[in-house]
Chains A and B, each alone.
Chain A
Amino acid sequence: MAGAAPVTALEEVTLEVAAGEVLGVTGSTGSGKSALCLAIAGLIPQETGGIIGGRVIVAGWDTRVTPVPQLATRVGLVFQDPESNLVGLSVEDEVAFGPENLGVPPPEIARRVDWALQVTGLARERRRPSAFLSGGQKQRLAIAAVLAMRPQILVLDEPTAQLDPVGKDEVMAAIDRLRQELGRQLTIVLVESDTELLSRFAERIVVLHTGRIALEGVPRAVFSRVEELTALGIRVPPLAALAAQLNHALGTRFSFLTTSEVKSALRPLLDRGGLAGPSTRSPVGRDVTHPRALARPGPYRASAGAFTSKHRESSPLLALETVCYHYDGHPPALEGVSLQIEAGELLALVGPNGSGKTTLAKHCNGLLRPRSGQVLVAGQDTRATPVAKLARTVAYAFQNPDHQLFLPSVWEELAYGPRNLGLRGQALQARVEDALARFGLADLRHRHPTLLGRGLRQLVAIAAVYAMAPRLLILDEPSGGLDGHAVSRLMTILEEFATDGRSVLLITHHLDLVAAHASRVVLIHEGQILAEGPTRDILMDETLLKQGGIRAPTIPRVARELARYGIPPALTVSELAEAITARLAASSGHSDPLPEGDLT
């Protein structure tokens, strides 16, 4: 709301939240989710400036006239970034900080601190400095810190967006405990772009779009409107997508929010061996026996294979040989890592926070140099080649877009990298225009990058390294600030990039993306490569993933639960939907073809 570009963040939003309700809010980037949070806490308009029409009444107080510190006794607000949620004291002092500012008597503060630390599971960390906590712990501490102010409403603005799956689980478990303990005494407004998480926790969902309420209702109702959600740029929870595909193929009216719902809905059908009647939709023929019907290899997987075999003789694009690295005075961050990246690969690097993903990626363009072992980028040893020179071959988009945006226009920002590589005039013009068009940023070319919304800044930052036309593009958590539309646009670009014979190294916690797009996965754990191989082999090995400290993605897990009904392992929603329809069609004795399951 503040800043040079006047933007309407929220427009005529009328929303009532009942006491004790758990409201889930989602929306694409720029939909006004964060503005809503700031408005509830009174920070809009009191701290941000800007113009506000209408009223926000929080537990009887008008946010336009009630000072923010006073509102803070009724509204607790937790932001996305763990660093900006904390003042930076010890765990205990951090929690005491709010009540101290409100002049709460010390014995009462002590009671509140005890309780808040217990409910967030941080009692054992009490004396530690908050700087030493993990991301998940920091977010729980932020929640504890606002809980100690005894708010009636807890507003959480994407509290898990910057956490790995383990941290996410920790935070959500804490919120769950809180609900059990306080029940209807606490109202929770949870803003999330992770709709799968929302579908499990919220009692009601509001979908915002360009500052207005686009959809509203109970999770089951909202998440069954898959087409509308997709059109709004919302990532549909995988189980909701599965239900939609099954409904489309079978004419059923499934709606799934949890794995157990899938099981209990499908069990009777699969037990009985099919649907009672013939499918209401006329199925399109497809050969069941053809392995491709289930394997669904994407073109990129195929091309990756082709490139791998073709280039096996020549030297790889990137080769790490028994690389070891440790930061000064710290235990090893990488221990004997060997890895090759071939041309045309879309390689995903997965693993929990702190496992060494970023350290490994920084070795690929010489930002870090191995203490022992060696890294060869297109045959050049990184220890003997300056980073600026390696940038011709390897481009790297950092996780936080703000770390790389500094020029006054989007066009200039995209031209910066290519210019450093020596491009001028027509060639430069063409390069930048191409990247602008591909990323859908052409209309924003004259805008100031740092004044764009988070999602757009992220796209600009990625487009800026893409424009360098590297042979290897490294992306660190690119999907963080992006909505559904932007993510699918980005993934299409990356796939084209790989088919073009260039390579992508994708670092992400978003395993659904990996499942759908990566040709190969490297699982890194405690500085060592725990496993690497085709996406399918890695992501469907639940034991392996668990060993590597990450949670298996939803769809393979559901497929495994259904294995005893003859459902084969599946990696993506379409695959599983297809397998289920095939199984039902086969056992209900249709001689004719199985229903078309491919609805993506």
Chain B
Amino acid sequence: MNARYDLYAPGDSWLHRLDPRVKLILSALAALLVLLWSSLLLLLIALILSHVLLALARYPHRLVSGVWRTLAPLLILIVLLWPLFDRRGEPVILALGPLTLTGEAFLRGLATASRIAALSFTLLLWLGTTDQRALVRSLVRLGVPVSLGMALTIGLRFIPIFASMFQTVSEAFQARGLDLPPGGLRRIRAMLPILVAALVTALRMSEQLGWTLAARGVGAPVRRTTLHDLRMQLVDWLVLATGLAIALSLLWLTLAEGLGRTLR
């Protein structure tokens, strides 16, 4: 019940072992390229490539299809609605009063949907194979303050706990005869006691957590050390160099030569 919030799949593949900073930089560049491109072909290649990489990293199919399911409504809406509002281009497939459907608009819709999908899966390459701790650590190493990083780690952990607590509180109130109307303002008003009880519990929990942190030495006036400090290995440098070379050439081609800037 507690794992669904998380895209991270524990593992030991090459992608998991890659330094999180390298993953962050390369996926950011890839995301930039995907955002710049309009070419359906290039976007589809990017989408397929991201899936190949995920498969090579043995990222579970279950989570991949989970992401697809989450994206599906949005993607379908884009593909269906885009042609209705974009009347540019040829060939005209249908012209019915104010309604004009063109083949190009249809492809454009498809390309936009692919761009969103490719963007999501590019980021999934980074988020799905980097555990929260490494993620936060890489941000800290790239300049985010330690305290902020720690707050982020703890905050992320408590989201599912608070969610399940809210659920339990809500059940406890229904068991005491609280009638939750199906929707609207009345429901929000009815949920007030649930919010109060959840808040009190959350405060109690965070008080304890504060004690735990103090008792675990947070705030000691010494320079913090790290068990597994991030250290770039040879393979990390190689991947970074190769990745940067490819991404920057593509970026140059895109910006200077107009690679992939048009639909076809």
Residues of A within 8 A of B (CB): 38, 41, 43, 46-47, 67-70, 72-73, 75-77, 79, 81, 83-90, 92-93, 96-106, 109-110, 113, 127-129, 131-132, 145-146, 149, 327, 329-330, 362, 365, 367, 386-388, 391-392, 394-396, 398, 400, 402-407, 416-417, 420-421, 450, 464-465, 468
Q: A510 vs B26: C-alpha distance in the bound complex, in angstroms?
A: 56
B72 contact set on A, CB distance < 8 A: none
Selected from B158, B161, B197, B217, the residue in CB contact (under 8 A) with A403 is: B197
Contacts of B194 in A (CB 8 A): 406
Q: Closest CB-CB distance, B112 to chain A, in whole Å?
A: 30
How far apart are the CA atoms of A367 and B175 in the complex, in Å? Answer: 8
Assuming the contacts A41-B215, A69-B218, asked whether A84 and B223 have C-beta atoms less than 8 A apart, the reply is no
Q: Is the CB of B3 within 8 A of A90?
A: no
Q: Which of A47, A75, A146, A468 makes the CB contact (< 8 A) with B210?
A: A47
B165's partner among A67, A81, A362, A403 (CB-CB below 8 A) is A403
Give complex CA distance A99, B225 in Å.
8
Bound-complex Cα distance A98 to B208 (A): 16
Contact check, A149 vs B217: say whether CB atoms are below 8 A apart.
yes
B200 at the interface (CB under 8 A from A): yes
User: From B198, which residue of chain A is reached at the shortest CB distance?
Assistant: A403
Q: Is B186 an interface residue (CB 8 A)?
A: no
Is B89 in contact with chain A by the CB < 8 A criterion? no
Contact call A103/B224, Cβ cutoff below 8 A: yes
Q: Is the CB of B4 within 8 A of A329?
A: yes
- Contact check, B175 vs A100: say whether CB atoms are below 8 A apart: no
B209 within 8 A of A: yes
Query: What are 28 A-B pairs with beta-carbon distances under 8 A?
Result: A43-B214, A47-B214, A67-B220, A72-B214, A84-B209, A88-B154, A88-B157, A92-B227, A93-B228, A100-B225, A101-B219, A103-B220, A103-B225, A109-B227, A127-B10, A146-B215, A146-B216, A149-B217, A367-B171, A391-B175, A391-B177, A398-B175, A402-B197, A403-B165, A405-B200, A450-B200, A464-B176, A468-B177
In the docked arrangement, what's the CA distance between A421 and B175, Å?
A: 11
Residues of chain A within 8 A of B217, CB atoms compared:
69, 72-73, 98-99, 101-102, 149
B234 on interface, CB distance cutoff 8 Å: no
**A149 and B171 within 8 A (CB):** no
Q: Which of A109, A327, A365, A406 neighbours the largest number of chain B CB atoms within 10 Å of its CB?
A: A406
In addition to A90-B133, A101-B220, A106-B227, 14 A-B residue pairs with Cβ atoms within 8 Å of each other are: A68-B215, A69-B217, A96-B226, A96-B228, A102-B222, A103-B224, A113-B227, A145-B216, A146-B216, A149-B216, A388-B177, A391-B176, A400-B168, A405-B197
Determine the chain A residues whose CB is within 8 A of the CB of B212 once the complex forms: 79, 84-87
B220–A102 CB distance below 8 A = yes
A365, B175: Cα distance in complex, Å: 7
Contacts of A464 in B (CB 8 A): 176
Chain A residue numbers with a CB within 8 Å of B223 are 103
Centre residue among B153, B175, B201, B219 by max chain A CB count within 10 A = B175
**Are A87 and B222 within 8 A (Cβ)?**
no
- 142-181 of chain B: CB within 8 A of chain A: 153-154, 156-158, 160-161, 165, 168-169, 171-180
Question: A128: which B residues are within 8 A, CB to CB?
Answer: 10
B208 touching A79, Cβ below 8 Å: yes
Are B220 and A403 neighbours in the complex by a CB distance under 8 Å? no
B210 contacts A109, C-beta separation under 8 Å:
no
Which residues on the A side are within 8 Å of B3 (C-beta)?
131-132
Question: Distance (Å) between the CB of A351 and the closest chain B CB?
Answer: 18
Nearest CB in chain B: distance from A37 CB, A? 10
Option from A97, A103, A395 in Cβ contact (under 8 Å) with B175? A395
B65 → A minimal CB distance (Å): 12
Please, which residue of chain A has its CB at the minimum distance from the CB of B192?
A: A406
> Which residues does chain B contribute within 8 Å of A145, judged by CB atoms?
216
* A69 x B10 contact (CB < 8 A): no
CA distance A327 to B10 in the complex (A): 22
Contact assessment for A403 and B227 in the assembled complex, using a CB-CB cutoff below 8 Å: no
Q: What are the interface flags for B217-253 relative to A under an 8 Å C-beta threshold, 1 for contact and 0 otherwise?
A: 1111111111111000000000000000000000000
| A478 shortest CB reach to chain B, Å | 14
Q: Is residue B193 within 8 Å, beta carbon to beta carbon, of the partner chain?
A: yes
**Interface, chain B (partner A; CB < 8 A):** 1-4, 10, 131-133, 153-154, 156-158, 160-161, 165, 168-169, 171-180, 193-194, 196-197, 200-201, 204-205, 208-229
- Are B227 and A72 in contact, with the CB atoms below 8 A? no
What CA separation (Å) do A75 and B211 show in the bound complex?
13
CB proximity of A34 to chain B, nearest CB, Å: 11
CB-based contact A387/B174 at 8 Å = yes
| Most chain B beta-carbon neighbours within 10 Å: one of A89, A395, A465 | A89
Let me know if A81 and B208 touch, CB within 8 A. yes
In whole angstroms, how far apart are the Cα atoms of A355 and B90 in the complex?
Answer: 63
- Chain A residue numbers with a CB within 8 Å of B131 are 90, 129
Which of these, A79, A398, A417, contacts B211 with CB under 8 Å? A79
Residue of A nearest to B199 (CB): A406
Determine if B177 and A417 form an interchain contact, defined as CB atoms under 8 angstroms apart: yes
Note all chain A residues with C-beta closer than 8 A to B178. Answer: 388, 420
Q: Which residues of A contact B168 (CB under 8 A)?
A: 398, 400, 403
In the complex, chain B residues whose CB is within 8 Å of the CB of A43: 211, 214-215
Report the minimum CB–CB distance from B202 to chain A (whole Å): 10
Determine the residue in chain B with the shortest Cβ distance to A419: B177
Chain A residues positioned under 8 Å from B158 (CB to CB): 88
B residues within 8 A CB of A406?
193-194, 196-197, 200
Whether B220 and A106, one on each chain, are in contact in the complex, defined by CB atoms closer than 8 angstroms, is no
Contact A131 B215 (CB under 8 A): no
When chains A and B are docked, how far (Å) is the Cα of A577 from the Cα of B126?
66
The interface residues of chain A lying within 8 Å CB-to-CB of B157 are: 87-88, 131
What chain B residues lie within 8 Å of A77 (beta carbons)?
211, 215
The docked-state distance in angstroms from the alpha carbon of A98 to that of B173 is 39
Given A79-B211, A403-B201, A406-B197, CB of A88 within 8 Å of CB of B153: yes
CA–CA, A401 and B202, complex, Å: 13
Is there contact, CB below 8 Å, between A84 and B205?
yes
Known: A106-B225, A106-B227. A388 touches B179 (CB 8 A): yes
Task: Give every chain B residue within 8 A of A388 (Cβ-Cβ).
Answer: 174, 177-180
Cβ–Cβ contact A465 & B215, under 8 A: no
Residues of A close to B211: CB separation below 8 A = 38, 43, 47, 77, 79, 84
The 7 A-B pairs with the shortest beta carbon distances in the complex, nearest first, are A420-B177, A88-B157, A103-B222, A101-B217, A84-B208, A69-B220, A96-B227
In the complex, what residues of A have CB within 8 A of residue B222's CB? 102-103
Interface contact B153-A87, CB-CB below 8 Å: yes
Q: Using A38-B211, A69-B214, A113-B227 as known contacts, say yes or no to A131 and B176 having CB atoms under 8 A apart.
A: no
How far is B176's CA from A88's CA once the two chains are assembled, in angstroms? 33
Measured between alpha carbons, how far is A68 from B208 in the docked complex, in Å? 14
- Asked if B216 and A105 sit within 8 Å, CB to CB, the answer is no
In whole angstroms, what is the CA distance A55 to B205 when docked? 28
Residue of A nearest to B165 (CB): A403
Residues of B within 8 A of A386 (CB): 179
Q: How far is the CB of A389 from chain B (nearest CB, A)?
A: 8
